[in-house]
Every structure is written in C-alpha cells, then in structure tokens.
C-alpha cells in the first residue's frame, strides 16, 4: 500500500516544516493537487511554490492536474522532478495523445475519474496507464466527505485490471481516513491520498505511521 500525503491540507505558513515531516515519515509519495480555477472552482498553487517544494521534497512527487489543457505544462512538471503525473479524463479531449506525451517525457502516467464518471470509459486506454486515480469526493476542495460508491468503483476497476492481467495501479483521493482507507484497500486500491486525516491531527508523522501499519 502506497501512502501519498497531499500538501493541499497542510498549513502553508509552515509548508517547509510539513515537507520535512513527510520526508522522515512512513509516507511513500508526496501528492500535489494543482487547480486552475477553471476545471475546478478553486485555485491551489503554481510553479513558483512547486519549485520551492521540489527543492526540499525527498519523496517521489505525484502531481494531480485539475486543470484544462494540461498538455501545455507537461515538460514543466517533468523539469520540476515530478515522477507521477495524472490528468482528468473529463478535461482531455485528446486523452490518448496526452498520455503518450507524458510517457515520452519520462514520467509515469495516470488518468483521473470524477465521482460521476464510470471506470468503463477507460477500457480502450487502460493498458497504456500506470495508474488510475479515482476521486472519492468532488475535486476542488479538501476536507470533503467520502462518497461510499467509490468502493464499488474500485472493485469494478480492479476486476477489469485482473481480467486483462494488467499491472495498472489504483489510487484513491478524497475523505480517506483509517475507516474509509480500509474499505478502499480491501476493495483493491494500491495508493491512498491522505489530507485532513493527517494534517489536522496534533502529530501528522504518528498518524502516517498508524495508517501505514494498520492499512497494510
């Protein structure tokens, strides 16, 4: 099980300290939620801040692009050192071409599905993907309540992956805590994005360790 804390839920006035906590913790990846205020009704952060994060981050960076026209920025994320880059199915008219661009740039590629989008839409491109990110909340804001039907989506996607003998991983983002994390892992997920359940506690490092241990 891969654990990917999202800095969207962190205290931005103490961001350097937060990155250091993640660096020395049981976390596996560092999740970056990039929003443009167009595809989703919120803004997060841009390249000036991401460059500062990249200087101190020791965990592999996993960037989730909630933006229109993500193809314009692929090389910039590569140059930052991002290892995993995911784009939304709903934002990409020419999804296959963008997937190939990300691969050609040397990064692992994922496609993100909003809560209303069925996993079956990826049937013709699933074998091209390193991972699929299932949103278990509506994208744009942290701290939302987990959507229970996400468990069924993970199960359905896992069945397709197994049937086709693929190595595609399943990542889930939104409302993940010890309880919902167990449901998702049992359904077949490989990667959990965690936010408020970590950074709203008094000891984020201890909570990351607890999740890593109890959700194996």
CA of 184: how far to CAs of 95, 102, 158, 198, in Å?
A: 26, 27, 11, 17
CA distance 121 to 170: 15
Among the options 28, 33, 130, 190, which is catalytic? 33
Active site annotation includes 33 = yes
Please state whether beta strands 108-113 and 2-5 pair in parallel, antiparallel, or not at all (unpaired): unpaired
- Per-residue DSSP letter, 141: -
- Structural contact between residues 42 and 17, judged by C-beta atoms closer than 8 angstroms: no
Structure tokens at 89: 């199915």
> Order of strands across the sheet with 131-135?
2-5, 191-194, 169-173, 131-135, 108-113, 84-88, 61-66, 30-35
Among the options 28, 36, 130, 173, which is catalytic? 173
Active site (catalytic) residues: 33, 173
């Amino acid at each position: 099980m891969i654990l990917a804390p999202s800095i969207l839920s962190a205290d931005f006035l103490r961001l350097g300290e937060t990155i250091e906590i993640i660096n020395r913790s049981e976390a596996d990846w560092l999740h970056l939620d990039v929003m443009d205020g167009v595809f989703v009704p919120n803004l997060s952060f841009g390249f000036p801040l991401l460059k500062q994060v990249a200087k101190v981050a020791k965990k592999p960076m996993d960037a989730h692009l909630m933006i229109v026209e993500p193809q314009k920025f692929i090389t910039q994320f590569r140059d930052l050192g991002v290892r995993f880059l995911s784009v939304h199915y709903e934002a990409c008219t020419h999804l296959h071409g963008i997937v190939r661009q990300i691969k050609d740039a040397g990064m692992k590629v994922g496609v993100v599905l909003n809560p209303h989008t069925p996993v079956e839409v990826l049937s013709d491109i699933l074998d091209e993907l390193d991972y699929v990110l299932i949103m278990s909340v509506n994208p744009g804001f942290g701290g939302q309540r987990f959507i229970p039907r996400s468990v069924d989506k993970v199960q359905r996607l896992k069945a397709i992956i197994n049937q086709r003998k693929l190595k595609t991983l399943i990542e889930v983002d939104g409302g993940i805590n010890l309880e919902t994390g167990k449901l998702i892992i049992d359904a077949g997920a490989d990667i959990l994005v965690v936010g408020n359940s970590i950074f709203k506690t008094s000891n984020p490092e201890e909570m990351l360790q607890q999740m890593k241990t109890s959700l194996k």
